[in-house]
A and B are shown apart, each in its own frame.
Chain A
Amino acid sequence: MEHGSFTDNSVATFSLTDEDHTIANAVRFTLNQDPRVTFCGYSISHPLEARVNIRVETTGGPAREVLKDACQNLMLMCRHVRCTFDKAVEDFKASNAVKAMKIDSQDSSGDDSEESE
């Protein structure tokens, strides 16, 4: 939920329930990177209550849109991380399979170590 003012929508505090540092720190990082943001931060008022308050102040645009864009950016970053990671794992498995085949064909006793250095 958003706590802001009706007249000025460029500054607001967003209160997210059932969230903690996991999403708040990541969103704060992407918010900071946005050039439209003049101030951003998050606080957890009490550790036993799962509620995070994210404060956003912008150079003029509506704070809600800026926060939405930051979350979108974070989602796109995550997707890219996932793609790159999957590709790297596949390449690693493929290169290990090739190595295992080469070692097997070189000497009859198969070498067990498949770890690359």
Chain B
Amino acid sequence: MAEGAGEEKKKFSIWDLPDVPVGQLPPHLELQRSRVSCNKDAPIHTESIQYSGAYASMGIDNSSRLDRFSNNFRVEVVRLNEDDMEFDMIGIDAAIANSFRRILIAELPTMAIEKVLIANNTSIIQDEVLAHRLGLVPIRVDPRLFDYLSENDQPNEKNTVVFKLHVQCKRGSPRITVKSDALKWLPNGSELVKETRNATSDSSSKPETYTYFGCSQETIPEFVKNPIIPKYPDIIIAKLGPGQEIELEAHAVKGIGKTHAKWSPVATAWYRMLPEVVLLEDIEDDLAEELKSKCPVNVFDIEDLGKGRRRATVARPRACTLCRECISGDDWEKRVALRRVKDHFIFTIESTGALPPEVLFTEAVKILEDKCERVITELS
């Protein structure tokens, strides 16, 4: 069948043929445009046809208009817990979904321990290893309440959270494990006194410490009932033998995942495209049993047709992990087609606890908007 608009030389136009849908793509082109075909060796048609004039000769307008996007876009939440969520985004393109994923992992700010002032460490864990482990402990505090601390700033109650860790294993007692619940929040700032050169300075004023808190952080309304603590109290930080002691102060500041992974607010965030499993021909009896047993995640089911005949059906395509077992033997590729829908993304977000996952996603979208605005102002 000839594709494209009818030419003057032919006596009839392709649009006069009864089965060519006008204003829509023919089914094989629609398959190419909207599905990734996962064959036995490699997937094909993976790129998304974005160019606005892509199907111009068929009379299709591939350019996006905001109203078409707004009408077709849907979000369906599948699972929403305190720390993770799974939801479907339908009608969006991979470029934007990937931008959200990258922002979730690397550009959402969090609070994490950055400076560790060690007064005493006689344990076998080295100072730097201890400091590194402390940095990776997730802290349950909303980072939106704090500002960034830059090099010229002084650490004050608006940009620093101070923790103290003082553990000692007495001689004669058994070994102890230092867990993250040993980190105590100091709402009034640092307690370590800075050594000043002039010992004759007025001793009536308060000694200078490493932070300059104007007021106690406990007075901030959000922290009155919820003290700032690590999210998980049972993270092992160090182990002490008899006679060993750790005394340190840890300052947590705001940062983004790009600088260091400790500031990433998600354990991880990922998406996959919705799998579509299609039976190209009727699969009956023994072949149906074989197909059902091949799939490790039970995508297929057998239904009874009566008179002892059975037929295979696709029951749970969403569970498909694309292991390609169902197309692995000979001839199976002609019977089963594995595809992915290009504009349906199943997003999973696992938060480390600072913010709930739905807030994380909203903040990520806001950050993308801010980036666009920054580009626009740079251009004008």
Contacts and interface: CB of A to CB of B under 8 A. Distances in A.
A88 B77 contact: yes
Interface in A64-117: 64, 67-68, 71-82, 84-89, 91-93, 96, 115-116
A76 B66 CA distance: 8
Given A26-B95, A78-B368, A81-B365, A72 B376 contact: yes
Contact of A93 (B52, B66, B80, B361): B80
A11 interface: no
Interface string B101-125: 0110011000000000000000000
A116 B376 contact: no
Interface in B18-60: 50-53
A35 B66 contact: no
A25 B95 contact: yes
Interface in A15-65: 16, 19, 21-23, 25-30, 32-35, 37, 64
Contacts of A25: 95, 98-99
B260 interface: no
A41 B44 CA distance: 22
Contact of B99 (A26, A32, A85, A86): A26
Contacts of A28: 95
Contact of A81 (B53, B92, B107, B379): B92
Contacts of B378: 16
Contacts of A76: 66
* Chain B interface residue bracket vs A: 35 or more
Contact of B74 (A16, A29, A30, A84): A84
Given A16-B378, A64-B379, A32 B75 contact: no
A40 to B, nearest CB: 9
A19 B369 CA distance: 14
Given A21-B102, A88-B75, A33 B372 contact: no
A26 B368 contact: yes
B232 interface: no
Interface string B358-380: 10011001101101110110111
Contacts of A22: 99, 102-103, 106-107, 368, 371
B368 A23 contact: yes
A92 B80 CA distance: 8
B356 to A, nearest CB: 10
Contacts of A116: 78-79
Given A22-B103, A85-B362, A74 B372 contact: yes
B16 interface: no
Nearest to B376: A71
Nearest to B103: A22
B96 interface: yes
A116 B361 CA distance: 20
A105 B73 CA distance: 36
Contacts of A33: 50, 52, 62-64
A72 B79 CA distance: 32
Contact of B361 (A68, A85, A87): A85
B80 A26 contact: no
B191 to A, nearest CB: 38
Contact of A79 (B77, B102, B369): B369
A70 B87 CA distance: 27
A29 B358 contact: no
21 contacts: A23-B368, A23-B371, A26-B96, A29-B50, A29-B96, A30-B64, A34-B63, A35-B53, A64-B379, A67-B375, A71-B372, A72-B376, A78-B366, A78-B368, A79-B369, A80-B69, A84-B74, A85-B75, A85-B362, A86-B362, A116-B78
Given A22-B102, A22-B106, A33-B52, 17 more contacts: A2-B379, A22-B368, A23-B368, A29-B93, A33-B63, A34-B52, A67-B375, A71-B375, A71-B379, A73-B64, A75-B369, A75-B372, A80-B69, A81-B75, A85-B361, A92-B77, A116-B79
- In the complex, the 3 A-B pairs of residues with the closest C-beta atoms, listed nearest first: A33-B64, A29-B95, A32-B50
